[in-house]
Structure 1
Amino acid sequence: MNKPSLLLALGLSLGVSPAPVLAQSGHAGHHPAPATATDASHSAHEGQDDPHQGHHMHHGHGTHGAAHRARGSDPRFPPLTDAERAAAFPPLAAQHMHGDRTHYRFFAERLEWQDADEGSALYWDFQGWVGGDINRLWMRSEGERVAGHTEKAELQLFWGHAIGPWWESVAGIRQDFKPGSPQTWAALGVQGMPLYGLETQLTAYLGEGGQTGFRAKFEYDVLLTNRLILQPLAEFNLHGRNDPARATGAGFSDAELGLRLRYEITPLLAPYIGVSRHRAYGNTADYLRAAGEDKGDTRLVAGIRFWF
């Protein structure tokens, strides 16, 4: 008979519980004695004091629970006071999403030199607004000067009203100064960022003499680094009637596609370089060919973008 069996038989014959006997054997570490009812009751009571104690005891960190329970009574761990809580969590000022204050912004989206076929060109695309979070007065201006002569210039004024988290409706007027004689349009549209930063402008126009037009403009910023940003751009123009005086044909009139790479010295100031492709279509292209001009050209551009 082996030694554990002999000790077990001896214990039973003497009327002694086998647990102490086994605990004294060399194999007690592999066969721990079962807990008594008193031990179970004490463990359950400790579990009520510290809901995480069972987890800590399971991993051999039972002293953590004892230190945690002694926090309020041990002078080394005094309980928190109301003054300490107030200092740790000061009251925050109320934030008003839609206040009555008036703000403004001005954006020089594009102020650039272009290498045009007719000579050096200066192009601008400005936007700005003044107002609050819901209602704003908007301004847009685009234009181009080639070899010292203004080829295109327009100014638009809109009243903007927020119609959702990402959309704003606009209504106002557009004044064309060039090409041709000045022309005034009524304008109605929407603008916003519907898809992850895709800046979108969709505007319909009603001009003098029943002329109609529609412009769609899209811009998107691709962050190559925190400062280096690639911006694709697309603009499309459609008209309802032929206008030979302004070399504008009915239907899909013209489109511009561009790609610009800018470096943000600061968020307010960024020089850039890029390429721009403009092309006329349909009757608009026919008018340009009749005047001895190309229906499209590709230009290298360099400029600066800023806002305040």
Structure 2
Amino acid sequence: MRYLLALPLLAASPAFAQDQMDHAGHHQHTSAPTSADPSGSSTGTPGSVSSGDAMESPEAMDHSMMNGSMDHSGMDHMQMGHGMGMTHGSAAPMPAGDIPQAPPPAEAFSGPDFAADQFVGADVMAASRMHVVREASGMPVFWLMADRAEFHAHEGKDGYTWDVQGSYGGHIDKLWFKSEGEGNFGEKPERAEVQALWSHAIGPWWDLQAGVRQDLAGPSRAHAAIGVQGLAPYLFEMDAAAFISNKGDVTARVEGELDQRITQRLILQPRAEINLAAQDIPELGIGSGVDRIEAGLRLRYEIRREFAPYMGIAQEWKVGTSADYARASGEEASVTNFVVGVRFWF
């Protein structure tokens, strides 16, 4: 009875079908009509093979009975490849509910964070990882950018502006260099300064900077400087610093700009700068409170990422007492300039 139940499974098995094809190529079994014998035996024709002959001749054995005698009830069809989401006689996948949906067992997270600790030692590996971090983050890199190198035109008084900064160091600590100024062609620079700063990362987006600033135009002034520079929310690049001069004057400056990409190469950049002073500085034409405000809009095209010409408009206002100082010296308190320049870095 067990053999009869196993036959349908064998008939559906690819292995069984292949076995029958192989044996069919070696043994040509022919059959012919037989006549019934009252004794219960059958008499075959000359071309047939009797069951008795089959038992006596190995070449004429009934291989279907050999295969049928194998007990397949204990076979693991998952290991035979029948449990891979397919059913016999159908290419349809198994229902999604049969796929385990439970989270990984707790044992999956019971091992160490670093497998090498078990073989080398946690202390040795911790020191090695710190060495890699220092090498990767402390490798000195030099970077220099001219954010503004521009020509500006204003009612026949053509002038220039520069704003250059660079750094040398790793990701955590750097030496920063900054210089900016402006003036009219054929005249001495109206403003010019240079800064040397030590910069230390205080977060993923911000650096704390401290150092010195030296004025190169007008009355000589040296300043101690401290400030922050980084990326504010909504991708505003910020630079804020306070200065204390060797004369005891306290001033501050806040700059911000934002790059708005119109295309991958065409970029619109609004920029603003506010200068403040804690007291009047008549020899520098600076009044207490808000001294000067600058706002500009520049459109640049990146021929390469490192080289981008631009054009735009810039407006400057002197406010309060600073405006009075400007008018007293024959200057305008408000100036509008059309600018053309280039931004580059390496």
Q: Which residue is equivalent to 1:108? A: 146
For structure 2, which runs of at least 5 residues remain unmatched after alignment? 1-72, 95-130
TM-score calculated relative to the size of structure 1: 0.70
Q: Which residue is equivalent to 1:175? A: 214
For 1:241-252, what aligned pairs fall within 5 Å after superposition? 241-252=279-290
2:86–2:93 Cα contact (<8 Å) kept = no
Deviations 1:170-212 (A, max 9, x none): 000111122x211111000110012242110110111122210
Q: Which residue is equivalent to 1:200? A: 238
1:276–1:300 Cα contact (<8 Å) kept = yes
2:138–2:172 Cα contact (<8 Å) kept = no
Q: Which residue is equivalent to 1:289? A: 327
Identity, % of aligned pairs?
Answer: 40
Deviations 1:48-98 (A, max 9, x none): 967751699987369xxxxxxxxxxxxxxxxxxxxxxxxxxxxxxx98574
Q: Which letter does structure 1 place at the counterpart of 2:215? A: D
Q: Which residue is equivalent to 1:223? A: 261
Alignment counterpart, residue 273 of structure 2, candidates 221, 231, 235: 235
Q: Which residue is equivalent to 2:307? A: 269
Q: 1:272 to 1:56 in 2, by over 3 A?
A: farther
The answer to whether the aligner puts 1:134 opposite 2:210 as a matched pair is: no
For structure 1, which runs of at least 5 residues remain unmatched after alignment? 1-40, 63-93
2:86–2:92 Cα contact (<8 Å) kept = no
Deviations 1:144-175 (A, max 9, x none): 12032211111111000011100100000111
What RMSD, in angstroms, separates the aligned Cα atoms of the two structures?
2.7
1:118–1:146 Cα contact (<8 Å) kept = no
Q: 1:152 to 1:53 in 2, by over 3 A?
A: same
Q: Secondary structure at the match of 1:285?
A: helix
Alignment counterpart, residue 199 of structure 2, candidates 157, 160, 184: 160
Q: Which letter does structure 1 place at the counterpart of 2:329? A: A
1:46–1:53 Cα contact (<8 Å) kept = no
Q: Which letter does structure 2 place at the counterpart of 1:158? A: L
Q: 1:51 to 1:264 in 2, by over 3 A?
A: farther
In our comparison, the structure showing a higher alpha carbon Rg is 2
- RCO greater where, 1 or 2, for CA within 8 Å and sep 6 or more? 1
Deviation at 1:291, TM superposition (A): 1.2
Higher strand share: 1
Cα distance between partner residues in 2 of 1:56 and 1:260 = 70
Question: How many residues are treated as equivalent by the alignment?
Answer: 236
Cα distance between partner residues in 1 of 2:312 and 2:88 = 62
Q: Secondary structure at the match of 1:289?
A: helix
